[in-house]
Amino acid sequence: MPAGRSEKTGTDFDALAASALARCDVLARCTEREGEITRTFLSPAMEECHDHIRGWMEDAGMTIGVDRAGNLRGYYADLELNEDAPRLIVASHLDTVPRAGCYDGILGVMLGLAMVEALDGRRLNFGVEVVGFSDEEGVRYGLPFIGSRAFIGKLLPPHLARRDADGVAMFAALDGYASAHPDVVSAAHHPQSRGYLEFHIEQGPVLEHAGLALGVVETIAGQSRAMLKFRGRAGHAGTTPMFLRRDALAAAAEWLVAVESAAAAMPGMVATTGQISCETGAANVIPGLVCCSLDVRHASDEMRHAAVQEFLATARSIAERRQIEVEHAIEYDQPAVGLDAGLIALADKAVLGAGVSPRHMTSGAGHDAMIVAARIPAAMIFLRNPGGISHHPDEAVLVEDVASALRAGLHFLHYFPDYLQNHLQRLTESEPDSCTT
């Protein structure tokens, strides 16, 4: 038996893995900017990307459509060829950040397609829907998860009123997209959607450090973002004695180091300042105003909120001691999302079946799964990301890890009927007078 081939099914996982990666390379050429990978919401590059994937899905025996949010959706029907059968959603996103790598989001969609191809025409007692979400990164409208928000009915009027850099409102862009695609369907998920699985590169170094190909996501970390302004007093760099200075940048720098030190002492906590601006920014002027960002993430909302308050209290203490002012504004607060316990257990079995010891992980990055989980039980499987580099052209993945992910995906399909039965039983027990499934 050739290496990489399953004795039970005859599936050549190595060949399918290599094909999935080759397709990622093809899609990398669907870009808005020559010489880099940039593909945003409803762009011509996204349309080109869809054209490639349509052909691959059709060859795999799927029915394909696009929805009103620009999501590409391929359905592989059950044994009875019934579109109203229970279904598993396998999905990720097809958009990118500017100057992206090949695999963030895109590999997850290609793995969903490869899972269907691995069935080689065999039908299951449930349907499989592979979805390529139109926007997860939020580049065009400054709002992430447009595709998955629409999928669960949470793309709201304030979102639709947003305008891009050219002044085009989101609702107008979506109306134009629907007009250009007369067969467009509702963006809402199918009412028989019973589970959601997302494969994604880790975007970090944990699996590589542990020597593991795959990990099972247990929680997607909550996130707080704030902007702080340190207001001191500008002055001449040569004539103002050190003891009379009200240096806003020195205060901000002290605070940044204090936040880094405090976060490092809190298990599971990450805190980052990725933006900083200084007025006036001249070499011979004591800075009078400094603005900086704060990004705090943790699996526990309670610990995250407590950390944010501690960091803000530290800023106030530093400002008081240095006789300057500080103010802050909380700009974003995303609760942590725990994924479905039943599907996590199923993913553990699937990963173990692929020959990998399951490792539970917290995702520090946001993913479509955290949005979908509000409506559909969700699970995520991470793939090792050599170097932990993502959102960058050097983003990488190993073909043998993709083969392992495919093996896990087929095991997931094998075990999913048991999950459906247990899920139905739980619903029956919790609602004895209901026929809801």
pLDDT digits (tens, 9 = 90+) for 75-104: 999 999 988 999 999 999 999 999 999 999
Instruction: Tell me how far CA of residue 85 lies from CA of 58, 150, 166, 220, 413, in angstroms.
Output: 20, 22, 43, 29, 15
% residues pLDDT > 90 (the chain): 92
pLDDT, the chain, mean: 94
Q: Residue 430: pLDDT band by 50, 70, 90 thresholds? A: low
Q: What is the residue extent of each domain of the chain? A: 13-220+336-430, 222-333
Whether residue 1 is predicted with pLDDT greater than 80 in this model: the reply is: no
Instruction: Tell me how far CA of residue 98 lies from CA of 70, 80, 101, in angstroms.
Output: 19, 43, 9
How is residue 65 written in tokens? 């459509």
Q: What is the DSSP letter of 233?
A: B
How is residue 198 written in tokens? 């997302």
Q: Please tell me which residue, 68 or 421, carries the higher pLDDT value.
A: 68
Phi, psi torsion values for 131, nearest 5 degrees: -120, 130
Summarised one tens digit per residue, pLDDT across range 204-225 is 999 999 999 999 999 999 999 9
pLDDT for 383: 98
Whether residue 192 is predicted with pLDDT greater than 50 in this model: the reply is: yes
Q: Bridge partners of 124?
A: none
- Alpha-carbon span 340 to 66, nearest angstrom: 28
Residue 146 amino acid letter: I
pLDDT for 83: 87
Task: Look at the domain 222-333 and name its fold.
Answer: Alpha-Beta Plaits (3.30.70)
Q: Residue 431: pLDDT band by 50, 70, 90 thresholds? A: low
Answer for the pair 131, 87: CB distance below 8 angstroms, yes or no: no
- Alpha-carbon span 422 to 349, nearest angstrom: 16
Nearest CA among 19, 23, 74 for reference residue 49: 23
Under 8 Å CB-to-CB from 152, ≥6 apart: which residues?
A: 188, 189, 371, 372, 374, 375, 376
Angle, helix 301-321 to helix 248-264, in steps of 10 degrees = 150
Q: What is residue 251's three-state secondary structure? A: helix
- Alpha-carbon span 363 to 344, nearest angstrom: 14
Task: Look at the domain 13-220+336-430 and name its fold.
Answer: Aminopeptidase (3.40.630)
Answer for the pair 38, 100: CB distance below 8 angstroms, yes or no: yes
